Amino acid sequence: MTIQIRCHYDVLNVARDADAATIKKAHRKAALKHHPDKNMNKSKEEQEESGAEFKLIQAAYECLSDPQERKWYDEHRDMILRGGVDSGGADGGDGSSFLYDVIPYQYAGCYDGYDDDNPESFYSVYSEVFKEIYQGERDGYISEGNIDIEKMSNIHLSEVEFGDSNADWEDILAFYNTWEGFTSCLSFAWADIYHLHDIKEAPNRRIRRLMEEDNKKKRKDAKKERIEEICALIRFVKRRDPRVKAQREKSFREQALKEVERKKEAEQRKKDHSAAKEVCLFFCI
């Protein structure tokens, strides 16, 4: 699915340094204008256009109203606007080509609804994305000369599935718990500043050690960036997952019912205590 990506700030017509109150006010104004209930008397084409704009408005506000998500969006905005789902899959001509490009999938326009039968739905798109991420890890691990796949540090990622709208909550929870602890099994050797030949040609042991330390730091930084990228994707997806929202609402209802029951029991204990006290006073008299 090819999409035209629009900046969240442009959608809400606010400056990039707008504060939370300004963003909230802009969202309300734009949402009221394009809400389906406000466009019932328009033509079908106009209703569809307004409906599409309403979705963009909601997606923009959902991102910019969350401080953590907005920070990540601001840091990667240019990459997101240059991207699109067709640009998924980095190809740096080296080991980095195994890092599946997830930036385009942190934009709500990359999926279309939540219908299980739609190949471009939330569930279909992200099921494929997480499979691609794992496949890249697996292929990269093999390309580095490893033979035993079972020794991959993140082999457990293959044991959970994203699922669809009918997935059991236990499976959904297992998926998020597993992926929220993501770490890459790749060496990130492509981030090295110095090649092996350069290190061998170093004038002395001290210089070689410094060169090796620089390479080690670059690999560590590259791995950290990849982990943060995947964790940001997980947060983005989880926040928009209807199954997670439904479970959260269910938990709130159950907690509310438990609280009502607790108050009833406390009130009954109070009444019982008062009654027992009265009986005691009666016999004492």
pLDDT by residue (tens digit) across 213-225?
Answer: 999 999 999 999 9
Say if residue 2's pLDDT is above 60.
Answer: no
pLDDT of residue 37: 81
pLDDT of residue 149: 92
Say if residue 238's pLDDT is above 70.
Answer: yes
Q: Could you tell me which residues come within 8 angstroms of residue 105 by beta carbon, excluding any fewer than 6 positions away?
A: 85, 88, 125, 126, 129, 233, 236
Please say whether the beta carbons of 27 and 12 come within 8 A: yes
* Structure token pair of residue 229: 């990228």
pLDDT of residue 85: 41
Per-residue confidence at 282, pLDDT binned at 50, 70, 90? low
Other C-beta atoms lying within 10 Å of the C-beta of residue 225 = 12
Q: Could you tell me which residues come within 8 angstroms of residue 81 by beta carbon, excluding any fewer than 6 positions away?
A: 5, 7
Q: Please give the mean pLDDT across all residues of the chain.
A: 88
Q: Could you tell me which residues come within 8 angstroms of residue 135 by beta carbon, excluding any fewer than 6 positions away?
A: 100
More confident residue, 233 or 46: 233
* Residue 285: strand, helix, or coil: coil
Q: What digits encode the pLDDT tens for the residues 74-114?
A: 988 888 887 644 444 444 446 678 999 998 898 888 898 99
pLDDT of residue 47: 82
Q: Could you tell me which residues come within 8 angstroms of residue 148 by beta carbon, excluding any fewer than 6 positions away?
A: none
Say if residue 41's pLDDT is above 80.
Answer: no
Percent of the chain with pLDDT over 70: 92
47-82 per-residue burial string, b: 16 or more CB within 10 A, e: under 16: eeebeebbebbbbbbbbbeeeebbebbeeeeeebee
